[in-house]
A and B are shown apart, each in its own frame.
Chain A
């Protein structure tokens, strides 16, 4: 059964379906079959974290999951966060605090941060550092990413009240 099968799932709130061979990685499925190239691929062995997306609310390495395993799942990617004129507070904070340079790690950073702040809106610096440490960034030295997530957390809490 190496033959392709149809994978049906919900991506960023929209039902989507496309065929995939069982071996197709979720990262490739999102990028090639669904044209969601915002999810990046840097290592394909789980280390860099650029490919991190949310599956049923939890961050996962999309390079270490088969697309067929996402059958029926709810997947969220950077494209679902916000647009240039309607940014998610995390996107805004990354912009404000210079939390990105080349932007290649950014999808992974953002999705890890989304998972963190949605499950723990009052996350402090150490929790933020822990969450962010799963993704490599070769450009920023990380500090401004932590500051951005902190700022977003504060802002989101303010809005929540």
Chain B
């Protein structure tokens, strides 16, 4: 299990990196933390002609909260995000969910942006950023554009990023004051990708749930927003029954896919119970 041969570039500036991406296009792969890319190379599931290693690009490792906006750069490692005070302040959901993402040594290298670009359907963070109205800032030699999370995740292991684009930053609005978040996951083992994960955020507005967001991972070919469940709860009084009903709504019409680890019935059951738990946690953490 050794990688196939490839050309390797390690640009020192963003412009250089973007020029290389423009030059090599589809044949190139960006190498960030390598925690998804290198296993795939070792398995020879990919044969890129060129690797463009972005690890030496300056100024992309930020995790910051400015003017009510959380900004996480392409080289912010999982560990930096996990330990960031800015994240705890700006996104209780991300803070709740991060401990479920892999293990220490993987987090030391892996990046949030790489994780989002990889878009594994069982990955936690795509669901988190989907719930958080995040914007993906994509830059190429020909310009910069911003894509909302809802449009970014386009299917199994694929995103709206073009081959010549780099995801340079994720931006998220700071969660509204008083927001509570809950995140629950069942994975084969601690630190593994999820069978199913469910995240929820809400604020309690005059005793009723408002701004409810419910997202799931592991239920299809990418992160999933359970809009019917959100609608069922929006404006309702919090409580076990309400959460249960919302959780059931989250499973309605859901075709979560299956593999030998987890069949569709099992995934639906998990969506239901984990959503309920996430909602209960979210409500109890509103302040």
Contact = CB atoms under 8 A, between A and B. Distances in A.
Contacts of B7: 1-2, 22
A115 B104 contact: yes
Given A45-B39, A59-B104, A23 B6 contact: yes
Contacts of B55: 69
A interface, by DSSP: helix, strand, loop or mixed? mixed
A46 interface: yes
B264 interface: no
Interface in A1-46: 1-2, 21-23, 25, 28, 44-46
Interface residues of B, number: 30
B94 to A, nearest CB: 19
Contact of A21 (B5, B34, B38, B39): B5
A94 B51 CA distance: 40
A115 B55 CA distance: 22
A53 to B, nearest CB: 9
A58 interface: yes
A113 B204 CA distance: 43
Nearest to B49: A2
Nearest to B106: A46
A102 B5 CA distance: 34
Interface stretch (A60-68, A82-90, A140-148, A153-161): A60-68
Nearest to A56: B108
A60 B109 contact: yes
A64 B35 contact: yes
Interface in A97-130: 112, 115, 130
Nearest to A111: B105
A25 B79 CA distance: 22
Given A25-B3, A68-B10, A134 B38 contact: no
Most buried by B among A28, A46, A58, A68: A46
Nearest to A1: B7
Contacts of B31: 66, 69
Contact of A61 (B8, B10, B51, B109): B109
Interface in B9-65: 9-10, 31, 34-35, 38-39, 41-43, 51, 53, 55
A37 B105 CA distance: 20
Contacts of A69: 10, 31, 34, 53, 55
A134 B43 CA distance: 21
Nearest to B192: A47
A42 B88 CA distance: 36
Given A60-B109, A65-B109, A1 B38 contact: no
Contacts of A58: 79, 105, 108
A23 B79 CA distance: 26
Interface in B102-129: 103-106, 108-109
Contact of A66 (B5, B38, B43, B108): B38
B1 interface: yes
Interface of A: 1-2, 21-23, 25, 28, 44-46, 49, 52, 58-61, 63-66, 68-69, 112, 115, 130-131, 133-134
Closest 9 CB pairs of A and B: A134-B103, A22-B8, A44-B1, A45-B39, A58-B108, A59-B105, A23-B3, A64-B38, A2-B5
